[in-house]
Each structure stands twice: as structure tokens, then as C-alpha cells.
Structure 1
């Protein structure tokens, strides 16, 4: 199967509210031989406030924000078409599952394209960052990683490339892609079993099958710079279809006779009884032979772990109790979410899928000229899609919007970006504060180039602020 290695540079870290500025992608075969590549950059969307720090990191000037040939919509439509052309493939990168994939999904969603493109039609998703962490744990000599002042391992891409003699144009989309391919080759050669696990578990059906076929599984978690590996056994799924596993460090007999109330209390204690596996996020799962590499479980012995797994497997009542507790907790979370006002941009995972009528309208929308796009936009049943369509026309062809519709979108943007509250998105006041902080830092460092950039960005923000203040 081919791989699509890709990387995004963005205006910030919030996949819902920031935007993609640059993409680099390389299509390779199973032996990492290049077949095709794609690299493009786009302008800033109308009314979007970039994070100054992010622009400094990915070396994006104000000139680039304003004067690149492609608009945001034009870039994303190109990406969408090329990724579909390259499919089926494994879509992979460095930290793609938690960052790039979320940006891509939510961007496609807001532009009326299929959000799950990299997961549908035979496609799979994998992440080299997760593979690197797991490979380093089970095969310590396979790759060099950094250490921070606390003694924790550092897996930043630019650190790994430096320590492993890989040429790298850091924080450039294509530079990051090329470096990631080299790291993937190292893992394939020096930690082959982990690499293979990553590929196998790039599809949630195969993850589920692995859990059902193996009574004792090694899984890992990474929190706050700490990597931990566990021996677990499958119990059930929660309401969101994520597998739930029992940590075999615990003796299940201690919990079998507990009431649901007592079991629920114990499930909140640490170390946690139940570990969740995100089966759609490329979990790294290893078979029971890797118990030998996890000291706390090795000391218990594989036979004890198998006995515990067998007890759980055969205790239907216990598994039902666990599932009941998890369903109750999921319901409580859903009730809380339902009481919070949700913006259309935030609704990908909770607003449901489009019906066939709206799906058909989306296809028509992208094929139509801008005048016809407005006509189609008013036919969407779901108000989210009508809003997204009007917002897109506002950005790309504002002259096609009737005055009332134009003013409505303009006022929504103004209210968002000029807000003085602590919003989920970046605002003009937030950016001014960030500019002040960065200016102090670079003045102390006597970095004239970055101080000049901050001045240009300050002027850019003032012009944007003036444009939208007139509507309030």
C-alpha cells in the first residue's frame, strides 16, 4: 500500500478556529520510493486572526499572508482533489493524528468537503511520532532522542533530525515531510515489529480484531512527557465505540463482587483500572511477548496475567457492570455538552452527518460558479452548511452575497475577533497581548529582524481591527 506523508503549517494550534497556511505532501510506495509530490501555500482567510508566535515559528511574513496567489479555499480544494487522486493510501506524518488530521478534517468540514477523506474509501491513518515513542521504549538503540532538564525524553522533530544526522528544513511543510520519511525508514529497519504494528493498527477494524484475538496486549500512553506501557485485556466498548481494557496489574478478583456504585468509585482511583484505546487513532499495540520489556508486569509473570485475563473474559456480569458505568459517564458528559452553546465550527463531532440531500447539494456547490453557489447555499437543510457556504462566498466572492447576508457574516466575524472575552479562538486583543510579550522578549534578545516583523504584524492587525470596528 502507498503512503501519503504530509505536513501542515498553520496560523495557530487550534484546529477548529485557526487555518492551514501551507501543505507539503509526498506520495511514496511501500519501499519509500517517491511517486508524486505536492506543495502549496495560501493567503489568510478574511477575518481570521493569526497567532504571532505561530507565524514566527513557520516563517510566514505579512506579505505571504496577503499576497500569495492561492486563496484558502483554492488550496484546500486542491489538497482534497489530490488526496482523493492518491487514494487508497496510508496517510501519515509526524504528530498527524492529533494535529494535522484534526486540522484537515475540520477544514474540509467547514468548506463542505468530506471530513473523513483520509479514513474512507480504503484509506488508513498512521502517526510516526507515536511509532517513534513506542520504538524507543521497546528498542532503545533504534533511534537517538533528546533529553530535557527533567530527564524526560524529547521527541520533537527538529531534535530527532539533528541527533540522527538527517537534513531538515524545520517548520517548513515539505522540509518536515522529507525528514519524517527518513525517520520512518529508520523505524522500519530498526524496530520492524513496532513499525508493522503501526501499519496494521492504522485501521480501527484491525485494532478491534487484534484486541479480540489476543487475551494479553501491551499498550502505551504518553502524558506530560512521560511514556508508560501496560499489559491489558479487552473488556467492552463504551458508547463512542472505543475499546475499554482492564489493566492486569490489578487482580480482577478484588473487583468482581463490588456493587456498581463501589466499582465506579474504584474506577476513578489511580492507577486506573480501565484503559481506553482510541481505535481510530493508530494505537500501538504489541503482543504478549513484549511483557518481558515492561518490568512491573514481567515480575508478575505471563501466566498470572493470562489467568487474570481469562477470569475477566469469562465473567460476563463484571464486564456488563463496567459497560454500564461507562455508558452512564458518557451520558453525563453528553448532557453537559448539550447545555453549552455550540458554534457551527465546533460541531463536527456532535452535530451529526449530512443527509443525502445535503451531501448532493455539497457536490453541486463545488461544481457551480459563484453566482449559482449562492442559490445552492440556500437549499441546505442543515443551517450549519448554509452558514459555511455563506461564509465561503463572503471570503471568495463577496459581490455575490445580497447586502443583508454580507452584513450578517461581517457582523459575526466582527463580534468574534473584536471580543475582549477569553474566547476559544484568537482575537485582536489576544494578539496585541501576544505581540507585547514577544516584543519584550526580542528586545531583550536584540533580535531586530523579529522586532521588525512584529511591527508589520501590528500594522496588519490595526488595519483589520479598523475594518471590522466600523460594523459595531
Structure 2
């Protein structure tokens, strides 16, 4: 995909918003310095002279403002692209093919402008902090090949062997997830110390202990929402009443863990 963007100085990048697909006539700027699969492309329909006249602070603000002049194209997300030659006339609008090429060529003559755009694009990227919760660590590094093979084997061997495999994972995230699976399916295979640690973590999850704003719905909050719902529909809702009994049981278990 990156080769396509290099070979085609101007091309069409389609973006989908719900059921609507929008064509953007763009030219490649470069790739994200930390993500080789993320390509930045300049929307040639924007006012290039306006962008060039902005200082770095104002340029960053403009890059973040919708409609964004710089399009993010992820080569590993199967983007829909089309060459300028194949684009139908209604996509080109009031500008001829040569006109779009001339706009791109004019920009190419300002390499410092391109670098400023790239810096602005990277500065506009959302920054996500690290999390102590394994569910939010999916983007904190790729899994190694050895761990990929272990993951495939983990789901095919007997539970007794899976316990042994926990220590073989190099990625801490996989160790935690594997241990969690064993705890819920075959807790008898874990040591007393490991079971106690997992039970304590489960209790903290259920009651939200140690978290100022839990990312999940705690039992207490679920009971409060359910009581509110029961207040609206009345006590003649056996399904809700049964679910409340289930939640109350979880609440009692969490208190006893």
C-alpha cells in the first residue's frame, strides 16, 4: 500500500462514516515515525497557502480541526484507494487531473513545509497512557513469535499442561491471561498462594476497591441500577428479580473473599 502511495503522486483515499463513503484527493506526505503502517496524506482540497502561512502552534491547531487537512491511512486496515487516472469525473470536482497534480507538485517544492506537516500530524496523534489492567494493554507492544506458538498450543493441551505453560510465556500480559483462564476453569491446579492472589483480585474487581473510577460496572453499581429499573417496572418482573438475586449473591461472595 505504501508503494501505491509513492508511485501515485496523487490518489483517491476513501473514508467511511457509517453508511457514507467520502473520497479525498490526497498526496502522500510520509509515514509515522513509530508506526510504519500509518501513512499521512495531505488533502489537496484544503487551502495550501493558508497552511503554509501558519506558525507551528497554529498549524497544529489546524491539523486537529475538522475537517482535518491530513488524512491518516493505515496500510494494515485494508484502505480503499484509487489512482487519479481511474477516478470518475464527479470525484475530481471542478479541478482537472492536471490541476490536482499541479497542486501536489507545488507542495513538493517546499520540503520544509512537508516536514512541518508531518510534525504536526504526529503531534496531533492521541497519546494513551499505560494501564495496570491487562485488558487495556493490547497496544503496549507486539507478542513475540515464541509466545504466538505457545498461545496456539495452550488451547489444545490438557489443563494440567497449561499450568506448566504459564511460566513459559515471555509476555507478562499473556502470563496473567493464562493464569486467569486456569483460575476460572481449573483452580484446583493452582497453588494455594496463586488462588489467594486471584481471589483477592476478583474481590477488588467486584467491589471496585482501590480504584477511584473503575472502568467496569461493579456489583454495587449494578445493584443500584437494577433497583432503579425495578422501581420503574414494579416487582412483577421475575427476570429482573432473579438477576437481582444473582447480583446480591455476588455481593455476598465478594464480601467474603
Q: Indicate the TM-score class for this superposition, using the shorter chain for normalisation.
A: 0.7 to 0.9
Larger Cα Rg: Structure 1 or Structure 2?
Answer: 2
Q: Does residue 137 of structure 2 align to residue 343 of structure 1?
A: no
Match of 1:279 in 2: 75
Q: Does residue 100 of structure 2 align to residue 305 of structure 1?
A: yes
RMSD: 3.3
Using the TM superposition, give the Cα deviation of residue 468 of structure 1 relative to its aligned residue in structure 2, in angstroms.
2.3
Counterpart Cα distance in 1 of 2:221 and 2:153: 39
Matches within 5 A, 1:175-324: 207-214=1-8, 215-222=10-17, 228-238=22-32, 239-241=34-36, 242-256=38-52, 258-288=54-84, 290=87, 292-293=89-90, 298-324=93-119
Counterpart Cα distance in 2 of 1:287 and 1:439: 58
1:305-331 deviation digits (Å, cap 9, x = unpaired): 23212333454332222223334455x
Match of 2:244 in 1: 458
Q: Does residue 249 of structure 2 align to residue 470 of structure 1?
A: no
Report the CA distance shift for 1:393/1:222 in structure 2 as closer, same or farther (over 3 A): same
Listed as ranges, the gaps of 5+ residues in structure 2 are none
Using the TM superposition, give the Cα deviation of residue 367 of structure 1 relative to its aligned residue in structure 2, in angstroms.
4.4
SS in 2 for 1:277: strand
Does structure 1 conserve the Cα–Cα contact (< 8 Å) formed by 2:223 and 2:248?
A: no
Does structure 2 conserve the Cα–Cα contact (< 8 Å) formed by 1:394 and 1:406?
A: yes
SS in 2 for 1:463: helix
Counterpart Cα distance in 2 of 1:452 and 1:227: 46
SS in 1 for 2:26: strand
1:218-240 deviation digits (Å, cap 9, x = unpaired): 422427x8765432222212232
Counterpart Cα distance in 1 of 2:228 and 2:188: 39
Count the aligned residue pairs.
251
Counterpart Cα distance in 2 of 1:440 and 1:209: 61
1:27-65 deviation digits (Å, cap 9, x = unpaired): xxxxxxxxxxxxxxxxxxxxxxxxxxxxxxxxxxxxxxx
Match of 1:167 in 2: none
Counterpart Cα distance in 1 of 2:29 and 2:69: 11
Using the TM superposition, give the Cα deviation of residue 290 of structure 1 relative to its aligned residue in structure 2, in angstroms.
4.8
Counterpart Cα distance in 1 of 2:75 and 2:231: 45
1:414 corresponds, among 200, 203, 208, to 203
Does structure 1 conserve the Cα–Cα contact (< 8 Å) formed by 2:63 and 2:121?
A: no
More relative contact order, 1 or 2 (CA 8 Å, 6+ apart): 1
Does structure 2 conserve the Cα–Cα contact (< 8 Å) formed by 1:377 and 1:386?
A: yes
Using the TM superposition, give the Cα deviation of residue 337 of structure 1 relative to its aligned residue in structure 2, in angstroms.
1.3
SS in 2 for 1:280: helix
Does structure 2 conserve the Cα–Cα contact (< 8 Å) formed by 1:216 and 1:309?
A: no
Does structure 2 conserve the Cα–Cα contact (< 8 Å) formed by 1:252 and 1:311?
A: no
Does structure 2 conserve the Cα–Cα contact (< 8 Å) formed by 1:211 and 1:217?
A: no
Counterpart Cα distance in 2 of 1:212 and 1:437: 58
2:222 corresponds, among 426, 431, 436, to 431
Counterpart Cα distance in 2 of 1:278 and 1:430: 39
Listed as ranges, the gaps of 5+ residues in structure 1 are 1-206
Using the TM superposition, give the Cα deviation of residue 210 of structure 1 relative to its aligned residue in structure 2, in angstroms.
3.8
Counterpart Cα distance in 2 of 1:247 and 1:439: 53
Counterpart Cα distance in 2 of 1:286 and 1:209: 13
Does structure 1 conserve the Cα–Cα contact (< 8 Å) formed by 2:150 and 2:169?
A: yes
Q: What TM-score does the superposition give when structure 2 sets the normalisation length?
A: 0.79
Counterpart Cα distance in 2 of 1:437 and 1:249: 52
Counterpart Cα distance in 2 of 1:234 and 1:290: 17
Counterpart Cα distance in 2 of 1:419 and 1:361: 33
Does structure 2 conserve the Cα–Cα contact (< 8 Å) formed by 1:370 and 1:393?
A: yes
